[in-house]
Amino acid sequence: MSSRDDVVVVGAGPAGMAAAARLRSMAIRVTLVDEQPAPGGQIWRNLEANRNTAVGKALGSDYAAGAAAVAALRGSGCSLRFGTQVWQLEDGQSDADWRVFLKTAEGLDMLPASIVLLAGGAQERPNPFPGWTLPGVVSVGAAQILMKSAGQIPAEPVWVAGAGPLPLLYMTQLLALGGKIAGYLDTTPRGNLVAALPHLPRALAAWRDLRKGIGWLKVLRRSAVPIVKDVAEIAASGSDCLETVTYRPRGGAAVTVPARLLLVHEGVVPAIHVTMAMGCRHDWRDDQQCFAPSLDGWGETSRAGLYVAGDGAGIGGAEAARLRGEIAALGIARKLGKLSEAEAGQRAAPFRRALKKALAPRPFLDALYRPRPEIFAPAGHTVVCRCEEVTADQICRAAGKGGPNQLKAFTRAGMGPCQGRQCGYTVSHLLARSLNSSPGEVGFFHIRPPLKPVTLGELATLEVEEATP
Amino acid sequence: MQNAEVVIVGAGIVGSALAYGLARTGCRVLVLDGEDLDFRAARANFGLVWVQGKGPGMPAYQHLTRDSSDLWPAFHAELCETAATAVDYERKGGLYFCIGEDGFEARRQALHRLHNQPAAAADDCEMLDRRQLEGLMPAVPFGPEVTGASYCWRDGHVNPLQLLQALHRATEKLGGAVLSGQTVTRIEAGTLGFQVTTAKGVFGADRLVIAAGVASGDLARQVGLDVPVRPQRGQILVTERMAPWLPLPASGLRQTSEGTIMIGATQEEVGFDTGTTVEKAGFLARKALRVIPRLAEARLVRQWSGLRVMTPDSYPLYAQSESHPGAFVLLCHSGVTLAAAHAGVVAAAVASGQLSESLTSFHHRRFLKDVRQAV
Amino acid sequence: MFVRPFKSDARTVSIVIDGETVEASDGEMLAAVLLRTPPFYARKTPVSESPRAPYCLMGVCFDCLATVDGLASVQTCLTPVRDGMTVERQSGRRELSK
């Protein structure tokens, strides 16, 4: 096993697939790992199975566009490991620079690699509100995954609450499949558009993307979907499952409607769990209200040999992810000595130009969809840590003595199976508020392994040499 | 104008128990704590309030441990009442599982040796063979290699994070102050007492206690004390919550009141490295599964490590400065078990300005003596 | 909660959820099946025994946990259905396995 030049790519979305195919084209040994059963990431989820189906058609051209990337991956000679989760990364021994610890249905495994490229994408921004843990409250992203992977749509007219391009896209896809929408509670703060206008000229470089969004809005209006704008607060109620939704437009009175299914979404944020666990340096991105790993021009983190490409580097969409994947692949090839500095720079130049163009609408979109403040300061009785059922009140009461990790120690927020994926941001925001500071100053939970839950029995099978210090 | 009668550097388990004990007597205390991501052994603790097996070669430690354990129930009740917060604590005895006949015999001999030490208590520890162990906990599915356990009725366990929070709250309720983000950089002695400088301010006090764990070395030197302390890493595993099935804690395996299973711990000399290793995750998992094979399907939720505050003989270090009267250093890696003693006899000693007779065995001079003898 | 008007080409298989036989497509996501099978939730939480249904469907919320073929706390959103799979919705804190 010659593993010296192996690259392990984690994530088979647009960035991971582009990077893997590009690396293969330079005769670099690549293994691509993804926990899903097939390539595509989230945006192109289940793409191969949806070809030439009603669902595939309804999902639109952006979805279909993934076919080329998937085909390129399949033809690249890349070693593919689906249904495989990465649960830890460690400094390698003499065999390689990295040890990538994997978990599959068959048990645990380990891949040595010189370079690891994380292309795990994004997750939806946690948006806690009263009742968000009730059965019947599902994220818009989840609903879209159901559509893509299972051809499932809401059984009854569905309520949608949130902001951003994804709810608009989903609703048009749902209507195309014959689904019904009870109403759209648009939580985009009314003042955002005005704040976003200065960025519009730059965004016009990607006018096709903007036109798409306008198209979705038109479809909604044509379908007479009731739209309530500038919704400041939402709450879900019910005893064992969702029964009603209460919403309050900013400056208006609360309205309660019966509901059995509520889909929610407040933007996406880079998945930082792995880079945080690896001790990488992160920057607080005030424009996108999230942490993102600090990366050099090739996508390398502050840990040598660990790269990030795609939405995990910063939210940018599928095309930007693809381009970041290309650039990272060239940077990795340069690192491995397959390309000279000059060659790598030359080959990366057109990708960098295209990336700049693909990211052109970001400042406008980030300003337009800047999350409303209520998300970061949920009502006191709101469950903030879903796993340990810790409320905002409990967190605020414990705030004031130390940072997020002290807060975790004292409230148990962040100690459950999700290890802070759903509550980390809210805790940092609440703490920042109590200290009159920013999440960037306050910091985040200390993330520890396992990155995915493994059983004690699986761990017991590991026989690993101790890494010499 | 002094900010407090006593400034304590470090709001970990040792510093906080001391602060609570002092505040309890009406002493004005100020605790200066560091940053969120400091080493913080107090946040990595296993949670045992433990007596069995402790103190070979140091009867004074056996004695102190036992006394603290006996004080713990009253300490706990009063703390919870003062802090108005719950701290999960049980004292129903504890176990040390023995693997194989050799393991059983080795444990029996070790405890016998301890039993023969001058300060040993009669009969708080006994060996249970396999049959007796099963009789004690009939529903626990022990693995075939478990030959028995040593049982000590004095042992117990506590939620160490709730304990820490309660100590902070109680200290504040009693008029003390606990300030975070105040890493101490300089200590100066003057006619009015001590002046302590942090990144954010300057604080004055009549007396000073350094309880900053593995970060105490530099600070202790500033008050004329050269204390030998080193970090020793311990890694711990914690599982998802489970329905209660393990009624008694063991050293290395216990079920918390939330239902999670804690498995620990390693003893590694790796300097100030608070990382975790896959190798030790496997080691700890195997250790637990030898005792309870049916834990195989339990899911690991988190693995962490802490740096034990380790002295050369592993026993507490209570030192008072001669060059800087009124300055003390308190260091140990058993701060949870000793919390009651720290809040009691040790706080009283600090308040009086003098380490009492019973505590002089713990002075760091004992290490210097060894060095001189070795030379 | 959800319905499946667009069944895939994959063959139909049978799984058992809490003793009830349910039809599914071979290889589809188990959480998707839970979201179209009353009472729709996957588990009752260990902290307060509140019902939770799958929420994110991408492995980051851990609310979709159920016991699958005897193994507890399985993320059903990452579990492809197989013929004859047995699923039990979890209730409260899980037991030490049998």
Residues on chain B touching A99 (C-beta within 8 angstroms): 278
A463 and B298 within 8 Å at the Cβ level: the answer is no
**Whether residue A94 is found in the same domain as residue A215:** no
A305: Cβ–Cβ under 8 A, 6 or more apart, which residues?
A: A97, A98, A114, A115, A116, A335
Residues on chain A touching B161 (C-beta within 8 angstroms): 409-410
For tokens 């100590």, what's the residue? Answer: B167
Q: Does residue B88 lie in a domain region?
A: no
**Whether residue A85 is found in the same domain as residue A144:** no
Provide the CB-side half-sphere exposure for B188 (13 A, CA).
Answer: 9
**Whether residue A134 is found in the same domain as residue A159:** yes
Q: Does residue A467 lie in a domain region?
A: no
* CATH number of the domain encompassing residue B300: 3.30.9.10
Three-class secondary structure of residue B375 per DSSP:
coil
The end-to-end CA distance of chain A, in Å, is 25
C78 — contact with chain B (CB < 8 Å)?
Answer: no
A214-254 per-position pLDDT tens digit: 999 999 999 999 999 999 999 999 999 999 999 999 999 99
User: Of B216, B263, B224, nearest to B240 (Cα)?
Assistant: B263
User: Of B93, C26, C65, nearest to A418 (Cα)?
Assistant: C65
What mean pLDDT comes out for the span C50-67? Answer: 97
| Residue B283 token pair | 């080691």
B319: Cβ–Cβ under 8 A, 6 or more apart, which residues?
A: B220, B225, B227, B328, B329, B355, B362, B363, B364, B365
C41 — contact with chain A (CB < 8 Å)?
Answer: yes
The answer to whether C42 and A83 have CB atoms below 8 angstroms apart is: no
A262-286 per-position pLDDT tens digit: 999 999 999 999 999 999 999 999 9
**Whether residue A158 is found in the same domain as residue A259:** yes
Task: Give the pairing of strands C86-88 and C12-17.
Answer: parallel
The answer to whether C88 and C67 have CB atoms below 8 angstroms apart is: yes
C58 and A153 within 8 Å at the Cβ level: the answer is no
Out of A99, A415, A455, closest to residue B297 by CB? A455
Residue A388: per-residue pLDDT:
98
Quote the minimal CA–CA distance from A195 to chain C in Å.
31
**What is the value of ipTM here, to two decimals?**
0.97
**Whether residue A14 is found in the same domain as residue A130:** no
C2 and A152 within 8 Å at the Cβ level: the answer is yes
Q: Give the DSSP letter of residue A76.
A: T
A76 — contact with chain C (CB < 8 Å)?
Answer: no
Residues on chain B touching A90 (C-beta within 8 angstroms): 277-278
Q: Which of B279, B310, B341 is at the close of a domain?
A: B310
B240 and C73 within 8 Å at the Cβ level: the answer is yes
Read off the pTM: 0.95
Q: Does residue A358 lie in a domain region?
A: no
C-alpha pair distances (Å), C40 with each of A292, A312, B181, C5, C17:
35, 32, 47, 17, 11
Q: Which of B254, B281, B310 is at the close of a domain?
A: B310
Pick one of 1.10.3720.10, 3.30.930.10, 3.10.20.440, 3.40.50.620 as the CATH number of C12-91. Answer: 3.10.20.440
Q: Tell which of B16, B36, B258, B292 to mutate to test the A interface (max A CBs under 10 Å).
A: B36
Residues on chain B touching A464 (C-beta within 8 angstroms): 277-279, 282
Q: Which of A223, A250, A266 is at the close of a domain?
A: A266
Residue B192: per-residue pLDDT:
82
* Least confident segment among A347-351, B103-107, B115-119, C52-56: B115-119
Q: Which chain B residue has its CA at the smallest distance from A442's CA?
A: B36
**Whether residue A253 is found in the same domain as residue A158:** yes
- How far does Cα B229 stand from its chain's mean position? 15
Q: Which of A308, A339, A370 is at the close of a domain?
A: A339
What mean pLDDT comes out for the span A77-96? Answer: 90
Q: Does residue A63 lie in a domain region?
A: yes
Q: Which chain C residue has its CA at the smallest distance from B299's CA?
A: C73
**Whether residue A187 is found in the same domain as residue A200:** yes
C96 and B242 within 8 Å at the Cβ level: the answer is yes
d(CA B54, CA A44): 60
Sequence ranges of the domains in chain C = 12-91
**Residue A185 forms beta bridges with which residues?**
A161, A228
C47 and B241 within 8 Å at the Cβ level: the answer is yes
**pLDDT band at A2; cut points 50, 70, 90:** very low
User: Which residues of chain B register pLDDT less than 50?
Assistant: 1, 371, 374-375
Quote the minimal CA–CA distance from A282 to chain B in Å.
15
Q: Does residue A368 lie in a domain region?
A: no
Quote the minimal CA–CA distance from C85 to chain B in Å.
18
**Whether residue A176 is found in the same domain as residue A275:** no
B131-165 per-position pLDDT tens digit: 999 999 999 999 999 999 999 999 999 999 999 99
**Whether residue A164 is found in the same domain as residue A260:** yes
Quote the minimal CA–CA distance from A303 to chain C in Å.
24
**pLDDT band at C68; cut points 50, 70, 90:** very high
* CATH number of the domain encompassing residue A140: 3.50.50.60
Domain range for A419 is 379-442
pLDDT at A1 > cutoff 50: no
**Whether residue A313 is found in the same domain as residue A281:** yes
Helical residues (DSSP H) of A26-177, grouped into ranges: 47-50, 54-59, 61-64, 66-74, 140-150, 165-176
Q: Hey, which chains touch C, using 3+ CB pairs under 8 Å?
A: A, B
**Whether residue B192 is found in the same domain as residue B76:** yes
Helical residues (DSSP H) of A204-293, grouped into ranges: 207-222, 273-277
A118-176 per-position pLDDT tens digit: 999 999 999 999 999 999 999 999 999 999 999 999 999 999 999 999 999 999 999 99
The answer to whether B156 and B89 have CB atoms below 8 angstroms apart is: yes
Out of A449, A456, A462, closest to residue B296 by CB? A456
Residue B370: per-residue pLDDT:
52
What is the per-residue burial (b if ≥16 Cβ within 10 Å, else e) of A411-430? bbbbbbbbbbbbbbbbbbbb
pLDDT at A5 > cutoff 60: no
Residue C6: per-residue pLDDT:
87
Q: Report phi then psi at B11, rounded to 5.
A: -105, 40
Residue A117: per-residue pLDDT:
98
Q: Which of A339, A366, A401 is at the close of a domain?
A: A339
Q: Report phi then psi at B24, rounded to 5.
A: -60, -30
> How many domains does chain B fold into?
3
Residue A284: per-residue pLDDT:
97
How many beta-carbon pairs under 8 angstroms link A with C? Answer: 132
Domain range for B363 is 4-80+160-229+312-374
C91 — contact with chain B (CB < 8 Å)?
Answer: no
Three-class secondary structure of residue A301 per DSSP:
coil
d(CA A125, CA A323): 24
